[in-house]
Amino acid sequence: DSTLLPQFSSFKNFRRHLLVLKSFSFIAFLIFTSVVSLICFSPGEIVVNEVNFVRKCINAEGSQDDLWGKLICTNFKVSFIPQDAPLKQLSHLLFGEHDIPLTCLEQVVTVNDTKGKKKVLGSNKKLKFNPTELILYSKDLRIIRFCFDQAGPESAKKVCLAIAHYSHPADLQLLFGFEYQGRRYHECKGERVKGATPRGGIHTPIFDRPSDWDREIKRTGASEWRVCAINEGYAISSSLPEYAVVPVSLADQDLKNYSVFFLDNRIPLWCWNHPNGSALVRMANICDPLQQRKIEQKIFTAITKSHPQRCDVIKLDLDKFLPNIQDIQAAFVKIRQICVIDAFEESEERWLSSIENSRWIEHVRAFLKFSADVIFHLDGNNISVVLQEEEDRDLNCVVSSLAQLMLDPHYRSIIGFQSLVQKEWVMAGHRFLDRCNHLNKSDKEESPLFMLFLDCVWQMMNQYPAAFEFTEAYLTVLSDSMWIPLFSTFLFNSSKQRAQYFMDFAKNKAIPQGEDHVVYFPPVWNWSQQFSNKDLTLFNNPMYVGKGAACVQNGEVKTFKRTKKTYSSTLRGTPASLRNGVKDSEDTLPRRGSLVSELKSLTPVKDESPSERFYREWFARPVDQHGLLIPLLMPSHMALWKLFFLRWVSEACISGGGPITTYHKLSQLVDEIDMLQSQLRQYKGPSPSTPLSSPCGPPSDQRRMYFKASSHHDPATPPDFLTSTFPFTPRGNLCRRSLQGTPISKFLNGARIWLSTETLANDTV
């Protein structure tokens, strides 16, 4: 019984009492102390240090719920192996429930209660006292506490120093991913058949080949644009990809001549083409002010020529209108402090207003609003837009991605969204290594730009839940994957840096020359490395109305079809009576008609600007899930992303409640529809191209919903394990004092974040 352990002051006394207590199973004790031998390690993973009889704190108010076990530091992660392991909800193939990757650690803090000492450990720092407690602050907002009151003091000290050392690697090549992928490549060589699964079976375009860009040009109808290879071998710019899309009218030599005037020689990059011919382009600053007007005129003239109507080009300077990376980092630190670190009782009547004062949600709204302005110019004014930022590697990534997400339904599918991230973040040279601070070298360069983008995406999903193929669980898992150093997506600052490291990596690991780097060091989009097929179905949104989604019309099962023109805001094919998945007023979002009324009352029609008229007319029409989406942008429409910010907070965990209950019912309903359709096809007989299906529907492991259709014998209530934080559990992931009746309970019941009556009265679109 683990509750007996604290009664013994030493291991010697423990053994003596163990012989006396016949009811205690000695065999179980041996299994407990040797449990590390049963752990399944990843290829290349080794144990660096370990300590027994460690107590993981579950609740700071008492130790009755604490877990006893072994704390292990490997070259990949920190593992805690409890004596009695609880059942996991989301089974990660790389981590146990109590594991945390070393790259996810932000601070390693040791405490000695008897001496009143506390120290933050770094890579080369010494520890002069024996720690009685270890606190791990993680980048995914967990706070994990371990107590060493029954552990050997020297062993506890060594494991703390090992965790601090391995969480601060001196070089990128020391990250575990390089060892892991090298071992994995050779171990799986026999399973791969050359040419059988191109690019390791990954369907997401990587945009490191001209063919990926060619397909994107054809998909968007950008006939006046071409793939350019002047940066092949990174001959022009170290931060641009080898291949980019440029206007047909610009010759390669002209681009080479112009590149020297741009910061880091970054020539303007094509992002996307509207069906009306307008283009979205991103650009760095021009270094020489004397040459700025001349170079811009030449670039803009080429963009104008690419437009069928030769329409003008507008340049939008993001540095002037949006918060900088330091502002975004400061806001994130504040909201993390409020949601995770501070006890709720310490901000008793100010919790909700503190969320507002952090300015995080204000920044999210600012980026969404700016992106909506880009939409107005592209879709409403039919003119091309050039997004300008000093280096074109931070704010431009957010705005260009959001604009395309609003305009193009392809990017609202899982594969499309992943290709968007790959194109506008990874290949465009976002500094993931510096912004994520993987090497813990410079806090000044750290900024959660990608996290802010995901929050913006969630805001749109929250307002238009039927328009996205993926779920908020997918977005949360994607954010967590930034801290797993096994995938190439979030490890590097640029394509050139990635290529250089891959060259050395392939040479050191004896990987044949010419082997595809996607095979030997895959991106994060190979989700089968992290989750089982069943768990991956949690990414699927049952409400999604996408291409090929089924509907019933006149008693027949049909599928939705969209044409190229449905990108345009001028076409709306859905009856006004169908909400198409737009959330109604029950979620504090006003009905579309009420928003139009507010717009009319705020601005008379005769005085409204072209952009106001564009938004008013758009909101007056029913939403087309396959067309343009514009988020509601008043402050009261912005919400806190609860699953991300509050998933480890036990006070926020609602048993049998939250959005997961709706997801559970909808998944069962969709699964039942899928089963009925399968049986209907079986009844009508298979077509030549359709294989014969089972009378009972597809096998369970091939069905696309996580929750399967219930039978008549199943209970009507949701399963007991469903909570508002599903598929995550706060147990042991955030140890702090708990207090009932705090403002968070009001928030969870739907209270607005923006409490100020003055703020609400001054709501503007």
Domain count, the chain: 3
Task: Please indicate, yes or no, if residue 323 is contained in any of the structural domains.
Answer: yes
At 586, the pLDDT band (50, 70, 90 cuts) reads: very low
Query: Looking at per-residue confidence, does 285 or 679 come out higher?
Result: 285
CA distances from 101 to 138, 336, 679 (A): 9, 20, 45
Tell me which residue of 743, 705, 407 sits closest to 544, measured CA to CA. 705
Domain boundary among 521, 539, 557: 539
The edge-to-edge listing of strands for the beta sheet with 279-283 is: 269-273, 279-283, 384-388, 313-317
Asked if 387 contacts 380 with a C-beta cutoff of 8 angstroms, the reply is no
Q: What is the Cα–Cα distance from 752 to 740, expressed in whole angstroms? A: 20
Residue 97 amino acid letter: E
Asked if 529 contacts 522 with a C-beta cutoff of 8 angstroms, the reply is yes
Cis peptide before 485 (omega within 30 of 0): no
Q: Is residue 140 domain-shared with residue 272, that is, in the same domain? A: no
Q: What is the Cα–Cα distance from 2 to 111, expressed in whole angstroms? A: 24
Task: Please indicate, yes or no, if residue 153 is contained in any of the structural domains.
Answer: yes
Q: Is residue 164 domain-shared with residue 218, that is, in the same domain? A: no
Q: Is residue 348 domain-shared with residue 464, that is, in the same domain? A: yes
pLDDT, residue 19, reads 46
Average pLDDT over the chain, rounded to whole? Answer: 83
- The answer to whether residue 30 scores a pLDDT higher than 70 is no
- The answer to whether residue 396 scores a pLDDT higher than 60 is yes
Give the domain range for residue 456. Answer: 210-539
Mean pLDDT value of segment 482-495: 96
Q: Is residue 453 domain-shared with residue 386, that is, in the same domain? A: yes
Q: Is residue 59 domain-shared with residue 148, that is, in the same domain? A: yes
> Which pLDDT tens digit goes with each residue over 631-682?
999 988 999 999 999 999 888 888 888 888 889 999 999 999 988 988 888 8
Task: Please indicate, yes or no, if residue 438 is contained in any of the structural domains.
Answer: yes
Q: What is the Cα–Cα distance from 687 to 706, expressed in whole angstroms? A: 28
Q: Is residue 419 domain-shared with residue 313, that is, in the same domain? A: yes
Strands 279-283 and 384-388: parallel
Three-state SS at 687 = coil
Judge residue 729's burial from the number of C-beta atoms within 10 Å of its C-beta, 0-12 exposed, 13-18 middle, 19 or more buried. Answer: buried
107: phi then psi, degrees, rounded to nearest 5: -140, 140
> Which pLDDT tens digit goes with each residue over 421-445?
999 999 999 999 999 999 988 788 9
CB neighbour list of residue 417: distance below 8 Å, 6 or more residues apart: 405, 411, 469, 470
> Which pLDDT tens digit goes with each residue over 341-355?
886 554 556 788 899
CA distances from 262 to 71, 272, 320, 396 (A): 52, 21, 18, 15
Cis peptide before 727 (omega within 30 of 0): yes
pLDDT, residue 737, reads 42
pLDDT, residue 86, reads 56
Given CA atoms 156, 161, 164, 169 in this order, what sign does their dihedral have? Answer: negative
Task: Please indicate, yes or no, if residue 187 is contained in any of the structural domains.
Answer: no
Q: Is residue 270 domain-shared with residue 383, that is, in the same domain? A: yes
- The answer to whether residue 568 scores a pLDDT higher than 60 is no
Residue 502 amino acid letter: F
At 115, the pLDDT band (50, 70, 90 cuts) reads: confident
Q: What is the Cα–Cα distance from 641 to 647, expressed in whole angstroms? A: 10
Mean pLDDT value of segment 402-407: 98
At 222, the pLDDT band (50, 70, 90 cuts) reads: very high
At 556, the pLDDT band (50, 70, 90 cuts) reads: very low
Asked if 430 contacts 394 with a C-beta cutoff of 8 angstroms, the reply is yes
Mean pLDDT value of segment 289-296: 93
Task: Please indicate, yes or no, if residue 20 is contained in any of the structural domains.
Answer: no
Domain boundary among 146, 168, 190: 168
Mean pLDDT value of segment 614-640: 94
Give me the residues paired with residue 50 across strands.
72
Q: What is the Cα–Cα distance from 159 to 108, expressed in whole angstroms? A: 11
Domain boundary among 508, 539, 570: 539
CATH number, domain with residue 57: 2.30.29.30
Asked if 394 contacts 325 with a C-beta cutoff of 8 angstroms, the reply is yes
At 596, the pLDDT band (50, 70, 90 cuts) reads: very low
Q: What is the pTM of this model?
A: 0.85
Residue 35 amino acid letter: V
Q: Is residue 141 domain-shared with residue 221, that is, in the same domain? A: no
The b/e string for 670-690 (b: 16+ C-beta within 10 A; e otherwise) is bbebbbeebeebeeeeeeeee
Q: How many CB atoms lie within 10 A of CB 24?
A: 13
pLDDT, residue 732, reads 84
DSSP E strand stretches across 278-396: 279-283, 313-317, 384-388
Q: Is residue 263 domain-shared with residue 333, that is, in the same domain? A: yes
Task: Please indicate, yes or no, if residue 570 is contained in any of the structural domains.
Answer: no
Task: Please indicate, yes or no, if residue 688 is contained in any of the structural domains.
Answer: no
Task: Please indicate, yes or no, if residue 496 is contained in any of the structural domains.
Answer: yes
Q: Is residue 103 domain-shared with residue 223, that is, in the same domain? A: no
Q: Is residue 127 domain-shared with residue 252, that is, in the same domain? A: no
